[in-house]
Every structure is written in structure tokens, then in C-alpha cells.
Structure 1
Amino acid sequence: MNHSLWKRMLVTIVLVCFANRVLDVATADATYPALFAFGDSILDTGNNNHLFSLVKCNFAPYGRDLPNQEPTGRFCNGKIPTDIIASHLGIKQLVPAYLSGDLGVDELSTGVSFASGGSGNDDLTAQMQFVLTLSAQMKNFEEYIQSLNTAVGEQKAASIISNGLYLFSSGNNDIALTHTLNIARSLILFPIYADMIVGWASNFLDDLYSHGARHVWVLSTLPLGCLPGPRALAGILFCQQYLNDQAQTFNTKLEAEVSSLKTKHPDFDIRFIDVYNPMLNLIQNPSSAGFVNVATGCCGSIFSGGLCNLISGSCQDPTNHFFWDSAHPTQAGYEHSLAPILQAMNISSIVS
């Protein structure tokens, strides 16, 4: 037998054996063998680093509370919901961004994030900021499936796809940015626009089902009117109620559509996850979780484009702040918001 051919066969055998070991461990330690994320910056673990876009945060002080204090491209000081949920399901501590490349079989088989900060259900939302549309994220997922088939075999790949947990967060930017700032979209009455973006979300989720996904958590929007950016425009003291009203309108329609998809596909374990109210409760009652500041970000301001930078610096203790920058919670903000959700699903509390 040709020596080169024999060497390639041996490498393949070792790779498959290693993949089997990883899969066995992941399946034994977690309800779900893998976690996948789609949507916007709430779930983006660094995909925007690899895009020609200004919507990225792969620089200090982002990531200051991650291992090695590394700015990975997460819009936070530390972990985001993608990582927090994955770690408390026993899957892994940090979920890599798909576009980071060079992902080994252990990372591929336990899940990646396809989300892109600044994206939305409306393609225009992503196009305005040169980030990944939902259709582009789906194409990356299709490419991922091919890579997974090669790495672990089609049978195991199909098991990972069907048994994995999928997170979806989208709609925040459609409401807060596109419908507010784009002239063409702002002319559309919001209830009609909400129907449009819920329809696009439904199409994406239906497509996800057709690709084998069976366990999906659809996250509501944040209380958008209480983000530091909109609050700054209102004089900091008050949330922008009209934005919260729009978010609630969208969330109500989205929840109804999730129920409709469940009826359409009886074997579709799809759930609407309300993060709006847990976050609003913490913002209205900050002392209940030890927050001192819920009105401004630990770093960044609306005058700096909403993102942190080295010039503006950051607060000394992010655990006292609910928000990290003008649009995103701190790791502590996310943890306290997700705690009641995970507790309701019989997943151990993430807040000590």
C-alpha cells in the first residue's frame, strides 16, 4: 500500500475515534450535546471580528473579565447568554464564533455561534451595518453541517443537529435602529412593521427546522427603552416608554408565532424565552440583585457611538452595573436576568 495513502487512513481513524470520545463525553454530561446561536449581538461571540464592519468590539476594555482578559468580540465585559447557558447545561464554558476558523472536532461537535452583532430579522438592518443577515447565517450553518459530516460522520452529525439546543435572538436592532433611523422603514406603522419582522423570524425558524433543528429557544427583545443609549436621549432618569411599548408589541406577536410553529410542527420543541420582563424587573428593582447603576453603562456612551473605548475607560466594578455599554448588559446583568429562566427549566441557578 502507498505510504502516503496509509498515513492519511491512519489520521482519519484517529480523528473519528477522537470525535466519538468527545461526543460520548458531551452526551453524558449534558442534556443537549451542543449549543448553537443565531441572531444579533446578544449571542455573537466574535463573528463580526471577521467582517468589514465597524460593529465590532475585539478591543479593550471588552472581555476584561474573560479568561486571560481577552477581547474576543463579545459585546460585554465577560460571558454573554450563549456562554452562560452552554456552561450551565454542562456543554462547555465558552462557545466559539463560527467564523473564527480552525475549529477542532471537539468545538465543532459541541456547538458554535453564527450570530452577528447588529443583525436583525429585516435584511436591511444587517445591510446597513455590513454584518451578517439571517440568510447569511443560515448559509454558514449549512457549511457547518457539511464540515460536521466530514468530521464525525453523517449519522453522528445528524444526532448532534437534532439533539442540540439552538438560541435565537433577533429583533432588537430592527426596532431600535432600523425602524427608528431608516426613513423608508419609519414610514411603516410599527404594528405593521412588527408583523413583517415576526414573519421574517418565522421563516428563519421554519428553515432551521427543515435543517434538522428540533430544540430552539427564541429570546424576546430586551427592554429597549431602558438601554443607556435611549435613556441618555431622554435625560438618563427615564426609560423611553415608546420603545418599550414597541418591544412589547413585537414580543407578543413573536410569542404567538412561536406557538403557531409548535402547532405546525408537533415534534418541534420551540420555546419563547421572555428576557424582557426579568431584565425590566432588575432595572426597576436594582438593589434586589446588588446593582448600583442601571441607567448608564460601565463604559461607553451614546456620544462615543455606544461602544466602549480606551479613552472613555470603564468602571471599577462591572458587577455593580447592569449595563456594560450603551446597549448591552454586563455579565452580571445577563446572569441575574437568566437565573429565573433557567431555574424555571430545572437548571441549577447561575447566581450564587
Structure 2
Amino acid sequence: MALASIPLILIFQILLQILKTDAKVSSIIVFGDSTVDSGNNNYIPTVLKSNFKPYGRDFGGGQATGRFSNGRIPTDFISEAFGLKRTIPAYLNPAYTIKDFATGVCFASAGTGYDNSVIPLWKEVEYYKEYQSRLRDYLGNHKAQEVLSEALYIISIGTNDFLENYYLLPHRSSEFSIEEYQKFLAGIARNFITQIYELGARKMSLTGLPPMGCLPLERTTNLASGGDCIDEYNHVAMDFNQKLNALVETLNKEFSGLQLVLTNPYAILYDIIQNPHSFGYEESAIACCGTGRFEMSYLCDEHNPLTCSDANKYVFWDSFHPTEKTNSILANYAVRTYLALFR
């Protein structure tokens, strides 16, 4: 039966159920930005932190771990769906050991982009090399190589490059047209994938851009037009995703043994935003935290009386990041579609 012929609400009732798979994935290894940072920024000097309430209020024990959400993030749900751990630990968190990292580790950092970084992509690779060495010491060369080659590498990055580097700051927009900048970033993505392939990665998911013009923060800047999504930003996201898809096709042909997929969250998240009630939400234009229009990180104050009481009614937790419920839907959709190759 064609997917399009199945009632939409039925599809997502199924997707909301987290089912473990008979996975041939040994570990989940994560690179990227705040959408998948499980707490690395807690341990570096930056204002981009979320290790305080109300972040994490729906996480186990109400703990603010440094995840930019009220609870778990997409990679946590992906890990669980593949029969691994419920949460993926941050590499820089000293509470964890190499034993904890053997089945999942996160190198991501809030604020990172292809082109700009709190923890630069090259630094994430340096941490990964260090991790490889530690894993070999712990498991032995043969077993460690099995884990590394059978791991699923998730790369989730790019939104910061456009919304901050290109549209907010003047340097890149004066240097590149938007088309040129997309090609520039795709080139960086190619180099990064090549690097980790040469280090032994074979199963990879490259995450595309969301409908970034519909993030509450961007809609707030568009209040003069009624707070609608910014169509220009969404078109840029779709165009860039097409370039990433072409890159994925090229690299799969070039690199022997590579299994690389583009996990594209655009359509599913746009559908949720445009039809929130179909997914059990009440609000998709503004976020749960504070006024829901501009707050994130330290602007999300636990004492703000405007913060919502039930995050499950909201698509977005803060003005930039989804709620745990949305993360669950996105992750489980990805597992059953793009990541089905690895099941």
C-alpha cells in the first residue's frame, strides 16, 4: 500500500510508538549542533548552555542535562529504537567512562555549524580520534574495530550557518550569494564525511535542514507580516537539502562500502507546524518557554510565569528547539524511513 493512501493520523499514531528493532547497529555516534548536543557545552566556556531549569524538566528525574529541550532529543530516541541505550552521553561529561561510550557517544556542541562553531567540526573529529584510541584500549583492536565499523554516525548541523552566519551577520552575505554559500557549505560537508570515512565510519546519516523560516524566533522577526513563516528561509532550506541529497548520491558511488543516507526532517516538521492539531498539539507558532517568541538558553528562566505547564501541547520548547514530543515524532519517523536501511 502506498504511504500516501494511509490516513495521516494513523501513520503518526504508529510512529509515536517506539519499537525496538533487530538492529545491526553497534553504537550511535553523534556529531553536530544544539539539536543533538546532549550536554557537551556544559564543560566549555560558552553562553550557549541549557544545564538549568526549566530545561530538562520532563527528563528522567527532572534533570537539566544540557539538552536543549524539556526532555530527550532525537538521537536519544533513535538510540532506543535501535535497541541501544535510552540516552546518549556527552563525551565531555566526566561522569561517564569509555564503558558508557562504547554503545553511544555524542560529540555535538550547541552553536556549531559547518562554517562557525563553539566546538568546531575539526575539534569534534579530534575528540572522535581520542575516543577511538580509548575504545581500542578498552575493547582491544578487533572488537573496537567491529564497534566503529558497525556504528551509525549521525551528523546534524547547518541551521546555524544560515540563520546566524548568513542572515544575521554581514560577513558571509557580502562574500557569497546564497547559492554560492550553499555550495560552500556542501563542500565542507563533503570534507567532513570524507574525514570520518577515512577513520573507519561506514554507516552514516546526514541530516537536512528543517523549515527554518517557521522557527518561533524567525517568525518573531516577521511580526510585521503577521508572524508567518519566512518563506525565503524555507526555500533556502529546501534548496540546500537538494544539494545535500546530490552529495549523498555522489559519495555513495565514490566510496567503497559507504552507506550514507540523507535524513530530511523538512516535510514532516512542516506538516506538524501547519497541522498541529492532527498531531495532538495546540500551538506551533510560539514555543512553551516564556513568551515563546524569542527565549532560549539563559533567556529561558524557570521563574518566568509565562512558561507553559504542558510542553506536549507545543511543537517547540524554546524559540529554536522542539519539545521532547516533537523530537520523538521526528526520530521515529526517521527510523522507519531514512534509517530503515540500517535495521
TM-score normalised by the shorter chain: which range applies? 0.7 to 0.9
8 Å contact 2:287–2:293 — kept in the other structure? no
Match of 2:148 among 161, 168, 176: 161
8 Å contact 1:289–1:336 — kept in the other structure? no
Match of 1:121 among 108, 114, 117: 114
Q: Which residue in the other structure is 1:319 paired with?
A: 312
Pair 1:345–1:121, CA change in 2 (3 A): closer
CA shift, 1:333, in A, is 1.0
Alignment-mate amino acid for residue 284 of structure 2: V
Matched, 1:33 2:20: no
Q: Which residue in the other structure is 2:270 paired with?
A: 280
TM-score, structure 1 as length reference: 0.86
TM-score, structure 2 as length reference: 0.88
Match of 1:208 among 196, 208, 212: 196
Larger helix percent: 1
Separation in 1, partners of 2:321, 2:90 = 18
Give ranges in structure 2 of 5+ residues lacking alignment. 1-20
3-state DSSP of counterpart to 2:154: strand
Structure label with greater radius of gyration: 1
3-state DSSP of counterpart to 1:33: coil
Separation in 1, partners of 2:336, 2:312 = 21
8 Å contact 2:23–2:82 — kept in the other structure? yes
Matched, 1:135 2:125: no
Separation in 1, partners of 2:108, 2:27 = 16
Q: Which residue in the other structure is 1:6 paired with?
A: none
Alignment-mate amino acid for residue 202 of structure 2: R
How do residues 63-82 of structure 1 correspond to structure 2 at under 5 angstroms?
Answer: 63-82=56-75
3-state DSSP of counterpart to 1:99: coil
Match of 1:111 among 101, 104, 107: 104
Q: Which residue in the other structure is 2:288 paired with?
A: 298
Separation in 1, partners of 2:86, 2:294 = 34
Alignment-mate amino acid for residue 36 of structure 1: I
Q: Deviations over 1:23-65 (max 9, x none)?
A: xxxxx97421110100111110000011110011000000011
Q: Percent identity?
A: 35
CA shift, 1:312, in A, is 2.5
Q: Which residue in the other structure is 2:222 paired with?
A: 234
Matched, 1:173 2:160: yes
Q: Deviations over 1:132-176 (max 9, x none)?
A: 010010000001111111111111111111000111011110011
Separation in 2, partners of 1:102, 1:158 = 25
3-state DSSP of counterpart to 2:92: helix
CA shift, 1:112, in A, is 0.5
How do residues 229-268 of structure 1 correspond to structure 2 at under 5 angstroms?
Answer: 229-235=217-223, 237-268=227-258
CA shift, 1:105, in A, is 4.0
Separation in 2, partners of 1:141, 1:338 = 23
Between the two proteins, the alignment pairs up a number of residues equal to: 314
CA shift, 1:266, in A, is 3.3
**RMSD over aligned Cα, in angstroms?**
1.7
Match of 1:220 among 208, 215, 220: 208
How do residues 87-98 of structure 1 correspond to structure 2 at under 5 angstroms?
Answer: 87-98=80-91
8 Å contact 2:205–2:339 — kept in the other structure? no
8 Å contact 2:216–2:319 — kept in the other structure? yes
8 Å contact 1:41–1:74 — kept in the other structure? yes
Separation in 2, partners of 1:308, 1:175 = 23
